[in-house]
């Protein structure tokens, strides 16, 4: 536990020193990055063994806050979620060195908030007291808010950054409001707000209500549909290593907290499982459809985070249903798939966001239709992005397939037990994941193909250069981790047994052993695939050794002067599929009819908008705004009035105390 405390101290020290030295860019970066990297390495060294062990490591410090105690606990669940946090913090910090090399802003402030975000994420995941947890949770929200608006005022996207910041702040505060209510109800009769002391039976509301509150509050952070509105706004405007950290690690704290509270609430009901399964499927499907329709690379990645959070939610749903129906394999493999997907998603989404940042760094744009042909200009970034794209589409031989396979196996294993309900689960999960996988393939061949393949669509893209070696090194580490996870997941999976035992309250050894033997064969297939590809490549080279390899123009079916503008664009590529989801995407077309004998030049526009934002959040915001305007007379800004309010409150409280 002292290791964790030292890691936390390193983050704090790094952040504060960076702030103090903000006049010198070099020193601020050194302190900020140094603190984040050293602290994370220390943390990884601590949390790797803790994630596969059974024990609970505790630390308590005297703290004089009512109901609060500064107590941290590190069990397998916390340690598991610490892994992506530490990994992405370290890599993001290293990446930042290259990414912000030429930034003219005060990097000391940036690194202060960066370290603050890491620190608060670690605290949120290890806190064992509700008050401490909420404070960490809010610090996390605020520091990430300052990070994502860090480039405010930069160039033309100023209004977009401001709006993204506000949307994020409002969404996250609404989530926290649910959490306050949750903990108030939960701690109603309990003497302290330590997680160990809280139980569902002592709460002032039925467990189902508490579950819904937790789902709303934590689901906002995680990005479940329809609470995901902030993700597609926030990720595109944030600096790329911040997007990677937020999407790879921060949204996972929502999943962590949901699991933690479900542990507090005790035995779940069947409808919790169905709710999670339904929300998971809806999030995954809607996320991937919207990802497919995007024209901005980081917006596409943000929607794909919604998709992957959905897949994780689906896994949690399977786990809960397995628990309720007493099917150990379904419960174990459902949770195991969800947890592995948490880790896998942080690896490949971190990779993709960091490479998207490299693209932005090199070309100044993330607009898909302004890019193209980058594979020949930036072969390393392009190849690494390809790894991420294959992994996130859930394709073998990479790690995305492993977790999706586990989820399908869970559903299939469940269906081996008799019961129409379980057959239905298997059908829903396999058909659903199949469709989602197919759409993800479409979305990521689009992202990869339009950005990196073909011909450059703008001069900027044609002049792109490979990025800073530290940026490449961070991206490469994540790609290597993706391959490693895929090839060695069979060895890692049984290590999750203590964690899963705690989640499911049954022995998970047997189910994990069976799944691991399947994963071992899959890893064998992965290795065989790599080998076979190498073999065919050699064979091809040998065949062509003495032959001519002519370099010609692309065959244009007889047309001799093709230009880069004639290539398929992002929206034309996605059109056959997005056309099928016109209703969901709320597509609007503006196509004025040509008039007159000689028509003027015409404009054609097409927009799609997120129904969660326009149908749910926009009316809610209007309602809140109306209330705020109504309350405004009370906020006059005069000190005398505020003193009066305080005095009146005191009087009222005294009267209340006197009467009762």
List binders of other proteins among 531-560 (CB under 8 A): 532-533, 536-537, 540, 543-544, 547-557
The DSSP code for 484 is H
| 573 counts as binding other proteins under rule CB under 8 A | yes
Chain-centroid distance, C-alpha 471: 20
The residues in 313-372 that bind other proteins, with binding defined as CB under 8 A, are 372
Sign of the C-alpha dihedral computed for residues 99, 472, 241 and 368 taken in this order: positive
CA 100 to chain centre: 23
The smaller minimum CB distance to other proteins, of residues 26 and 542, is found at 542
Q: Which residues pair with 73 in a beta bridge?
A: 58
Q: How deeply is 192 buried, as exposed, middle or buried, from its count of CB atoms within 10 A (0-12, 13-18, 19+)?
A: middle
* Footprint (CB under 8 A) of other proteins, residues 408-447: 408-409, 412-413, 415-416, 420, 423-424, 426-427, 430-435, 437-439, 441-442, 444-445
Cβ 642 to other proteins shortest distance, Å:
59
Shortest reach from residue 645's CB to other proteins, in Å: 59
Which lies closer to other proteins via its Cβ, residue 206 or residue 556? 556
Residues contacting residue 477 through CB under 8 Å, at least 6 positions apart = 91
Could you tell me how many residues of this chain bind other proteins (CB under 8 A)? 86
Which residues inside 39-98 make contact with other proteins, applying CB under 8 A? none
Question: Between residues 243 and 332, which has the closer beta carbon with respect to other proteins?
Answer: 332
**Residue 200 neighbours by CB under 8 Å, 6+ apart:** 186, 207, 210, 264, 265, 266
**Of residues 25, 30, 106, 376, which one binds other proteins by CB under 8 A?**
376
The residue within the footprint of other proteins, chosen from 396, 494, 495, 498 (CB under 8 A), is 396
Shortest distance (Å) from residue 356 CB to other proteins: 18
Out of 576, 596, 633, 637, the only residue in the binding site for other proteins (CB under 8 A) is 576
Angle between helices 379-392 and 469-492 (to 10 degrees): 30
Cis peptide before 397, with omega less than 30 degrees from 0? yes
**Min. distance of Cβ 326 from other proteins in angstroms?**
19
Q: Which is nearer to other proteins, 214 or 390 (CB)?
A: 390
Is residue 290 within 8 Å of residue 306, measured between CB atoms? yes
Q: Which is nearer to other proteins, 25 or 423 (CB)?
A: 423
Q: For the CA atoms of the chain, what is the radius of gyration? A: 26
Shortest Å distance, C-beta 395 to other proteins: 4
299 backbone φψ class: left, alpha, beta (φ>0; ψ -120 to 50): alpha
Q: For the segment 510-529, give every residue that binds other proteins (CB under 8 A).
A: 514, 517-518, 521-522, 525, 528-529
User: Contacting other proteins (CB under 8 A), which of 568, 619, 635, 648?
Assistant: 568
Alpha-carbon gap, residue 112 to 28, rounded angstroms? 9
Structure tokens at 160: 């977009």
Output the six-digit token pair for 579.
């056309």
Which residues have C-beta within 8 Å of that of residue 625, sequence separation ≥ 6?
Answer: none
Q: Is 373 in the site for other proteins (CB under 8 A)?
A: yes
Min dist CB 380 to other proteins, Å, is 12
Stretch that binds other proteins, among 127-135, 213-221, 499-507, 573-581 (CB under 8 A): 573-581
SS3 382: helix
Measured distance CA(110)–CA(361) in Å, rounded: 18
Nearer to other proteins, 156 or 418 (CB): 418
Taking contact as CB under 8 A, which single stretch among the options 152-160, 264-272, 491-499, 570-578 is the one that binds other proteins? 570-578
509 binds other proteins (CB under 8 A): no
Identity of the residue, 269 or 445, whose beta carbon is nearer to other proteins in the bound complex? 445
Within 330-446, strands assigned E span none
What are residue 605's DSSP bridge partners? Answer: 590
Positions 218 through 247 that interact with other proteins (CB under 8 A): none
CA distance 505 to 507: 7
The site map against other proteins for 580-619 (x = CB under 8 A) is: x---------------------------------------
Q: Which of 101, 157, 455, 466 binds other proteins (CB under 8 A)?
A: 455
């Amino acid at each position: 536990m002292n290791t964790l405390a030292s890691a936390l101290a390193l983050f704090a020290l790094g952040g504060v020193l960076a702030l103090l030295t903000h006049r010198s860019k070099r020193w601020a970066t050194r302190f900020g990055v140094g603190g984040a990297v050293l602290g994370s390495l220390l943390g990884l060294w601590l949390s790797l063994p803790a994630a596969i062990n059974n024990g609970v490591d505790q630390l308590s410090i005297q703290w004089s806050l009512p109901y609060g105690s500064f107590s941290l606990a590190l069990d397998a669940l916390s340690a598991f979620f610490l892994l992506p946090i530490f990994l992405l913090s370290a890599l993001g910090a290293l990446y930042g060195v290259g990414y912000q090399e030429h930034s003219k802003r005060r990097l000391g402030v940036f690194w202060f908030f960066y370290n603050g975000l890491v620190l608060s994420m670690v605290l949120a995941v290890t806190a064992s007291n509700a008050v401490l947890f909420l404070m960490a949770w809010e610090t996390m929200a605020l520091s990430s808010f300052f990070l994502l608006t860090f480039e405010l005022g930069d160039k033309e996207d100023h209004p977009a950054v401001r709006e993204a910041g506000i949307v994020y702040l409002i969404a996250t505060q609404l989530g926290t409001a649910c959490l306050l209510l949750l903990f108030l109800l939960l701690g109603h009769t309990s003497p302290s707000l330590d997680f160990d002391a809280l139980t569902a039976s002592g709460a002032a509301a039925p467990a189902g209500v508490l579950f819904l509150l937790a789902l709303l509050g934590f689901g906002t952070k995680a990005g479940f549909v329809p609470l995901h509105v902030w993700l597609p706004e926030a990720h595109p405007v944030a600096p790329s290593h911040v997007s990677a950290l937020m999407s790879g690690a921060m949204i996972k704290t929502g999943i962590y907290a949901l699991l933690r509270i479900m542990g507090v609430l005790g035995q779940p009901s069947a409808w919790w499982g169905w709710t999670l399964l339904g929300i998971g499927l809806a999030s995954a499907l809607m996320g991937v459809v919207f990802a497919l329709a995007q024209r901005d690379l980081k917006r596409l990645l943000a929607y794909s985070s919604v998709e992957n959070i959905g897949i994780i939610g689906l896994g949690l749903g399977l786990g809960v249903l397995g628990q309720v129906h007493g099917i150990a394999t379904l419960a174990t493999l459902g949770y195991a798939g969800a947890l592995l997907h948490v880790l896998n998603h942080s690896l490949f989404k971190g990779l993709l966001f960091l490479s998207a940042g490299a693209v932005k760094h090199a070309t100044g744009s993330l607009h898909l239709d302004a890019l193209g042909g980058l594979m020949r200009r930036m072969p390393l970034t392009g190849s690494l992005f390809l790894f991420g794209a294959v992994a996130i589409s859930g394709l073998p031989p990479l790690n995305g397939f492993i977790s999706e396979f586990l989820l399908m196996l869970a559903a299939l294993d469940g269906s081996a037990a008799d019961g129409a309900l379980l057959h239905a689960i298997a059908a829903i999960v396999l058909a659903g994941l199949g469709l989602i996988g197919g759409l993800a393939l479409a979305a990521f061949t689009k992202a990869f193909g339009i950005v990196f393949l073909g011909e450059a669509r703008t001069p900027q893209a044609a002049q792109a250069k490979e990025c800073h070696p530290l940026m490449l090194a961070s991206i490469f580490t994540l790609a290597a981790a993706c391959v490693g996870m895929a090839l060695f997941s069979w060895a890692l999976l049984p290590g999750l047994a203590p964690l899963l035992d705690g989640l499911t309250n049954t022995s998970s050894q047997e189910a994990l052993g069976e799944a691991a033997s399947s994963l071992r064969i899959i890893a064998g297939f992965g290795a065989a695939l790599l080998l076979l590809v190498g073999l065919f490549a050699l064979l091809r080279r040998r065949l062509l050794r003495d032959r001519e390899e002519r370099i010609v123009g692309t065959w244009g079916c007889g047309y001799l002067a093709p230009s880069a503008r004639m290539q398929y664009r992002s929206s034309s590529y996605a059109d056959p599929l997005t056309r099928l989801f016109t209703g969901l995407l709320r597509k609007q077309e503006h196509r004025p009819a040509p008039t007159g004998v000689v028509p003027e030049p015409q404009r054609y526009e097409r927009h799609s908008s997120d129904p969660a934002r326009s149908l749910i959040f926009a009316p809610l915001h209007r309602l809140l705004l109306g209330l705020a305007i109504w309350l405004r007379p009370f906020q006059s800004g005069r000190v005398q009035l505020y003193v009066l309010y305080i005095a009146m409150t005191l009087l009222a409280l005294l009267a209340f105390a006197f009467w009762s």
